[in-house]
Amino acid sequence: MPAGHTPDQNRDRQGAAPAYPSRPSPEAGDREAAAPLAALRLLLPALGEAPAAASARGVHWLVPGGLLIGLIYAALYRSSWRVFGEVEDVRLIPALAVWLVDVTVFGLAMFLGVARTVDRWPGKPPGGLPQAATPASRLGTAGLLALIVVLVVKLVLWTAIPEGISGWPADWRRHFNFMYPRPVFRPLILAPMWGRWGLILAGSIARTAPQEGACLPGLRGARSTLTVMGWFLVNLAITAIYCGRQRRWMIGCIIGLAILGVTYLFCVASARRFSGHTRFTVYAAAFLAEAAFLIFYLAASQRIY
């Protein structure tokens, strides 16, 4: 320090004191950490309602959450296949293993959403009770039949996935071959992604039904058209790439557009029927998007392979 100058005088001669980067506030960190939790509670509603403060950010984690679920399905399918094998090209045990996890954990809300939506569609609650007095766990005959049908349909769809022809790009894309699973695992990965996008689409259409009170927990961020179409384009691109053997990328695009049309029509019809969306219709839309992908994928599998 030069003689005759105090520290304050030296700071004045050299300019203002250097500005240190500001640290994020604890509240901001809590909101960022709560966003995945909000998405997790949307994926698994049994965990409770999503925090309202993190709902907007939590929506952006739904499709990545679907990707994680798809990877779990693919790993479970592969391990079961290695242990139990197949019978005449039918991989029933691997499909059953995926179906059990789907029914009991990740897809439970979607199956119940379909059943309760069908139950309430005619407008009269089961047993003739007022809507508010209807027990939450009670299903009428129509709902039980719908639940049985969707359970059987989902098992059949998982079982019918073709093995396909294994092949990987030989051009510049060969550097990304680790991102190309075998064709039999691709619909297992893509279906949960489309199902969780269907949840976003349903949350963006119309208002919340009057009997639901406040906005559906965790879906407040789905009101943005940019969010809905952004994640749709992500799913569409991955589907086109995975279905684009010998550069037949248009097949994946057609599948994605068909899913968009079917899910959108259901969302509009259910919103009109219930004067808005309910907790059940949004998960029914998610199931429809997932099942529609599997159906359209199986229908186009001969052209894909």
Q: Could you report the per-residue pLDDT of 259-282, keeping only the tens digit for each?
A: 999 999 999 999 888 888 888 899
Summarize the confidence of residues 165-193 as an average pLDDT. Answer: 80
pLDDT at 150 over 70: yes
Domains held by the chain: number: 1
How much of the chain exceeds pLDDT 90, in percent? 47
Residue 257 has pLDDT above 90, yes or no: yes
Lowest mean pLDDT across 10-19, 31-40, 87-96, 255-264: 10-19
Structural domain contains residue 8: no
For residue 239, the enclosing domain spans: 54-304
Q: Identify the residue with better confidence: 206 or 217.
A: 206
Between 14 and 117, the higher pLDDT residue: 117
Q: Is residue 256 part of a domain?
A: yes
Top-confidence residue, 180 or 147 = 147
Give domain status of residue 145, yes or no.
yes
Residue 38, pLDDT above cutoff 80: no
Could you give the CA distance from residue 196 to residue 109 in angstroms, rounded to a whole number? Answer: 12
93-148 pLDDT, tens digit each: 999 999 999 999 999 999 999 999 999 888 654 444 444 334 455 788 999 999 99
Q: Tell me the mean pLDDT in the region 61-75.
A: 95
- Does residue 27 belong to any structural domain of this protein? no
In a domain, 168, yes or no: yes
User: In the predicted model, what is the mean pLDDT of residues 215-235?
Assistant: 78
Indicate the pLDDT class of residue 55, thresholds 50, 70 and 90. Answer: low
In a domain, 33, yes or no: no
Is the residue at 71 inside a domain?
Answer: yes
Mean pLDDT for all residues in the chain: 80
CA 272 to chain centre: 23
| 30 part of a folded domain | no
Residue 72 pLDDT grade (very low, low, confident, very high; cuts 50, 70, 90): very high
